[in-house]
Amino acid sequence: MSAVQFDADLIRRYDTAGPRYTSYPTAVAFGPFTEDEYKAHAYLSNEDPIPLPLSLYFHVPFCDTVCFYCACNKIVTKDHSKAETYLQYLFREIEMQAKLYDRDRMVEQLHWGGGTPTFLSHDEMRALMDKTREHFSLHITDEGDYSIEIDPRSVTAETIGLLREIGFNRFSLGVQDVDERVQVAVNRIQPIAQTLAIIDACRAYGAKSISVDLIYGLPFQTVESFRQTLDTIIEMSPDRISVFNYAHMPNLFKPQRRINEADLPSPETKLQIMQLAVEHLTAAGYEYIGMDHFAKPDDELAIAQRQGTLHRNFQGYTTHADCDLVAMGVSSISSVAECYSQNAKTLEEYYAALDTGHLPVIKGLTLDDDDVLRRYIIQQLACHFTLNFTQVERLFSLAFAEYFSRELELLQPMVSDHLLQFTDTGLDVTPRGRFLIRNICMVFDVSLRKQSVQQRFSRVI
Ligand SMILES: C[S@@+](CC[C@H](N)C(=O)[O-])C[C@H]1O[C@@H](n2cnc3c(N)ncnc32)[C@H](O)[C@@H]1O
Ligand code: SF4
């Protein structure tokens, strides 16, 4: 059980901009990277004596309407024919990517993200999954972890039935806040009954896991209003709840300019809301997994954390550890062998590359030995709140105290602040330190030591 203790004073002091470590190094460190480099890693990944299974990600960038807070990579349009064109190109990418990987590599994990994957029509959803099955080896039973992000406003119970039929077994629903005033201010009107109907449908169709996204820090939110939102969602009893911090960065995300800054809760109120969320959800029986995530004790994320098999990748926390992640669609990021590779971020660039018979790779990174080592350490900390120095020494053939002398020094103030403690074999993050896990991870992040990089991340509060 991963207890978490909320210490407002400590959080105030450690409130600094930092990444959520869905990868290490993070995407801001990506640089020039070619299609050929990506292909070389893909071929290399087949050469392992026992090649890893695959994880497939598909990015569907379209949304019907814009939510003003949104920081996702999306295209807002009412023109559904855009999806038709997009799928034709995505199919080409599927064909090209599939050729790089041995056919006997099973797809253990599959995810549709966005934007809004449920922008696609039922026929398009079916066609995309058929195309995927034609070119990759997908499970026909519920063995795989096949998940999709759903905007409850864009689906019916029938859609959920269809998604189950084509192979999805985990559903993640965007809710954000149930308060009407908040919903109006962020341009996302979503009646509670609509969300509940979709959760009921997921359950009726035998979903293995249902997850709900909430955001704190939105306009007009108060401690009391957020308590209502939490109570409403707890009543619906999803298996997982994510509580994201709203990062107001209107310079980076244009729609956020339509949010009136005067309506945003103060940092102090945000802190209180955060505290409420942690205490209320844990009291309701949810376990704190880490970063922004909570799960019921019998959800497989919580089980994996207890068993030490939890991992973290671009999709967040996952039980499917050792996979090569092949990401398709505009702006998506693959993680294959020892590289990260990102696709073109605009449709124009994405289509242009595929039109000339090329994979739309625009940037990425080949990990060196030090990156692989630090990635392992950050994963251990983010997933398990503990680090075994002896194990690191054994796995990477180094003397921990010598290699990480600077980091051990930087950790000292965190020991004095009771965020962590050293043990005979390594370090343990305390319940007070768990909420500040990204600050602890940042100590091991060398790419972050460059100031300019740090300014591109959101703060804790
Ligand atoms: C791609 S959306 C989910 C699917 C669907 N488009 C929807 O909104 O229901 C992913 C999630 O990112 C979160 N999100 C988006 N913008 C955010 C922001 N600026 N700060 C924090 N969380 C954000 C929301 O919780 C949202 O549900
Ligand atoms: S939150 Fe979801 S529906 Fe809203 S704009 Fe972002 S991706 Fe689209």
Residues 286 and 390 in one domain: no
Please state, in angstroms and rounded to a whole number, the distance separating the CA atoms of residues 415 and 427: 10
Tell me, yes or no, whether 4 and 52 share the same domain.
no
Residues 18 and 87 in one domain: no
Boundary-marking domain end, from 273, 293, 326:
326
Are 8 and 114 members of one domain? Answer: no
Please, which residues have CB within 8 angstroms of residue 409's CB and are 6 or more apart in sequence?
none
Q: Quick one: CA dihedral 420, 376, 321, 54, positive or negative?
A: positive
- Residue in 224, 259, 232, 264 with CA at minimum distance from that of residue 245: 264
Comparing CA positions, the residue from 170, 88, 168 lying closest to residue 129 is: 168
| Ligand of minimum distance to the alpha carbon of 112 | 1
CATH number of the domain that 393 lies in?
Answer: 1.10.10.920
Tell me, yes or no, whether 335 lies in a domain.
no
> Do 277 and 423 meet the contact criterion of CB atoms below 8 Å apart?
no
Residues 151 and 225 in one domain: yes
pLDDT band at 370 (very low <50, low <70, confident <90, very high): very high
Rounded Cα distance, 5 and 408, in Å? 24
| 450 pLDDT tier (thresholds 50, 70, 90) | low
Contact (CB, 8 A) for 437 and 401: no
Ligand 2 and 316: CB distance under 6 A: no
Q: For residue 152, what are its two tokens? A: 């409850």
* Burial annotation 95-106 (CB, 10 A radius, 16+ → b, else e): ebbbebbeeebb
Question: Is 250 part of a structural domain of the chain?
Answer: yes
In a domain, 340, yes or no: no
Mutate to test the pocket of ligand 2, among 62, 64, 66, 195 (most ligand atoms within 8 A of CB): 66
Residue 406 lies in a domain: yes
- Alpha-carbon gap, residue 444 to 81, rounded angstroms: 46
Q: Write the residue with the smallest CA distance to atom 21 of ligand 1.
A: 246
User: Which residue has 């109120």 as its token pair?
Assistant: 269
Give the phi and the psi of residue 363 in degrees, each rounded to 5.
-155, 175
* Domain-ending residue, one of 294, 326, 358: 326
Residue 61 has pLDDT above 80, yes or no: yes
What's residue 3's pLDDT?
78
> Is 213 near ligand 1, meaning CB less than 6 Å away?
yes
Angle of CA points 61, 460, 5, to nearest 5°: 120
Report the C-alpha gap between 273 and 365 in whole angstroms: 38
For ligand 1, the distance from its centroid to the CA atom of residue 70, given in whole angstroms, is 6
Q: Are residues 309 and 396 in the same domain?
A: no
Phi, psi values for residue 390, rounded to 5°: -60, -40
Would you say residue 1 has pLDDT above 50?
no
Distance of alpha carbon 390 from alpha carbon 370, whole angstroms: 17
Asked whether residue 203 is assigned to any structural domain, the reply reads yes
Phi/psi of residue 291, nearest 5 degrees: 45, -115
Instruction: Work out the end-to-end distance of the chain between its first and last CA atoms, rounded to an integer number of angstroms.
Output: 25
Cis preceding linkage at 360, omega within 30: no
Amino acid at 179: D
Indicate left, alpha or beta for 206 from its phi (over 0: left) and psi (-120 to 50: alpha): left
Q: Which residues contact 51 (CB under 8 A, 6 or more apart)?
A: 45, 102, 105, 324
Q: Which of 70, 118, 175, 244 maximizes ligand 2 atoms within 8 Å of its Cβ, making it the mutation to test the pocket?
A: 70
pLDDT digits 0-9 by tens, 111-147: 999 999 999 999 999 999 999 999 999 999 999 999 9
Q: Kindly state whether residue 360 falls inside one of the protein's structural domains.
A: no
In a domain, 60, yes or no: yes
The amino acid sitting at 250 is P
Name the band, by pLDDT with cuts 50, 70 and 90, for residue 368.
very high
Give the structural domain span for 69: 28-326
Count the domains in the chain: 2
Instruction: Specify the pLDDT at position 319.
Output: 83
Looking at the structure, do residues 92 and 34 belong to the same domain, yes or no? Answer: yes
User: What is the amino acid identity at position 385?
Assistant: F
Q: Which of 41, 63, 39 is nearest to 52 (CA)?
A: 41
For residue 72, is pLDDT > 90?
yes
* Binding-site residue positions for S-adenosyl-L-methionine: 57, 69-71, 114-116, 149, 176, 188, 213, 247, 333
Residue 15: its pLDDT value, please? 85
Query: Could you tell me if 282 and 427 lie in one domain?
Result: no
Residues 188, 126, single domain; the answer is yes
Last residue of a domain, one of 292, 326, 360: 326
- The whole-number pLDDT of residue 460 equals 63
Domain membership of residue 331 (yes or no) is no
Phi, psi (degrees; rounded to nearest 5) at 407:
-65, -40
Tell me the pLDDT tens digit for each residue of 323-338: 999 999 999 999 999 9
Expressed in angstroms and rounded, the spacing between residue 72 Cα and the centre of ligand 2 is: 7
SS3 label, residue 213:
strand
If asked whether residues 19 and 65 sit together in one domain, one would say no
pLDDT value, residue 291: 87
Beta strands in 163-275 (DSSP E): 170-176, 209-216, 240-245
C-alpha 233/C-alpha 246 separation (Å) is: 18
How many angstroms separate the Cα of 223 from the Cα of each of 179, 226, 299?
12, 5, 28
| Nearest-angstrom CA–CA distance, 244 and 213 | 7
Q: What is the CATH number of the domain that holds 268?
A: 3.80.30.20
Rounded to 5 degrees, φ, ψ at 264 are -75, 145
Give the H or E element holding residue 422. Answer: strand 420-422
Which residues partner with 150 through β-bridges? 173
Residue corresponding to tokens 């707890």: 234
Q: Are residues 108 and 186 in the same domain?
A: yes
Residues 147 and 257 in one domain: yes
